[in-house]
Structure 1
Amino acid sequence: MTNWINTVSRDHVERGVRGRFTQANHGKPHMLRKMSRGDWIVFYSPKTAYPDGQPLQAFTAIGQVADDEPYQAEMTPDFLPWRRNVDFLDCVETPIRPLLDDLDFIEDKSRWGYKFRFGVFRIDDHDLEVIRAAMVPQACASLMPAPPSR
């Protein structure tokens, strides 16, 4: 199982949660093809809306990939984005700044936003647990299986 972060504005995350899906990299399939059923995916939102929303800098959703392959959806006749189905957890939006010192994927704490420019990227089990513990109410966290260690 792999853990992922997907960098997406909050308004787009909210659409995905309502529809139980994720897109990545403006609808391109490359990173979605690397995901497998059961992989964890955390959504980081630098802004409230794309492209001109207010700064947010928070984790806004978390869930697990719920299908085996990406599929295309028709948003308009000219826009057929690739998606993956996601089973989202109930969670609270969580600002990133209080977590920065505990996140290993952020190597340079003075330039912590740099990593998110990649859109979708892998994180290790430790970082998933730091984020998940902050986002998921304790009652739910105790019911969730821990990801297997590698």
Structure 2
Amino acid sequence: MIKFWIGVAVLDHIESAVAGGFVQLGHGKEAPVRRLSDGDGIILYATRQSLEGGDSVSSFAAVGRVVGDEVKQVRQSDCFEPFRRDVQYDDNVSPVAVRPLLELLSFTRGKGNHWGMAFRRGSFAIPQDDFDLIRDAMKDAYRGKH
């Protein structure tokens, strides 16, 4: 059964993941990417520009589908070997700010100033309706720019 997910990262990392065709969750932990399956939809939400700080982004920044069942561990440096899954990202989307969608999404609706608590989990499953709403908003934003 196909599931739908939100993954949370900084924008710099999301851009690297999209360019490389992978997803890495929870600072490279194995368990979050093991929960993903071939065909699952994933939307990446950017909190800030980079780990060093920078501007707040608070936007859905990428959308794609998990490809294959292999969990890969890669050597990024001498002391960091994160786990990843292959993802085919949609090229025809643009980032969308979360705030206009807060009262439309089941995981943020009615949460008031506490809407961001869901994102603190790092990754979490969402209903297909929420996935479709975010993806469609990102496609609309892309069409508005092109």
Judge conservation of contact 2:29–2:82 (CA < 8 Å) in 1. yes
- Deviation by residue 1:87-114 (Cα, 9 ceiling, x = unmatched): 0002101000011110001251331111
Distance 1:138 1:57 in 2: 15
Distance 1:138 1:49 in 2: 23
Judge conservation of contact 1:89–1:136 (CA < 8 Å) in 2. no
Judge conservation of contact 1:58–1:96 (CA < 8 Å) in 2. yes
Distance 1:103 1:121 in 2: 14
* Other-structure match for 1:100: 102
Distance 2:142 2:83 in 1: 34
- Structure with a larger share of its residues in strand: 2
* Other-structure match for 2:60: 59
* RMSD over equivalenced CA pairs, Å: 1.6
Judge conservation of contact 1:101–1:109 (CA < 8 Å) in 2. no
Q: TM-score of the superposition, structure 1-length normalised?
A: 0.88
The residue type equivalent to 1:99 in the other structure is L
Identity score, percent: 36
The residue type equivalent to 1:112 in the other structure is W
Judge conservation of contact 2:47–2:59 (CA < 8 Å) in 1. yes
Check if 1:128 corresponds to 2:115: no
Number of equivalenced pairs: 140
- Structure 2 runs not aligned, ≥5 long: none
Matches within 5 A, 1:111-126: 111-126=114-129
* Other-structure match for 1:71: 72
Distance 1:28 1:98 in 2: 31
Task: Please list every run of at least 4 consecutive aligned residues from structure 1 whose deviation after the TM superposition is greater than 4 angstroms.
Answer: 137-140
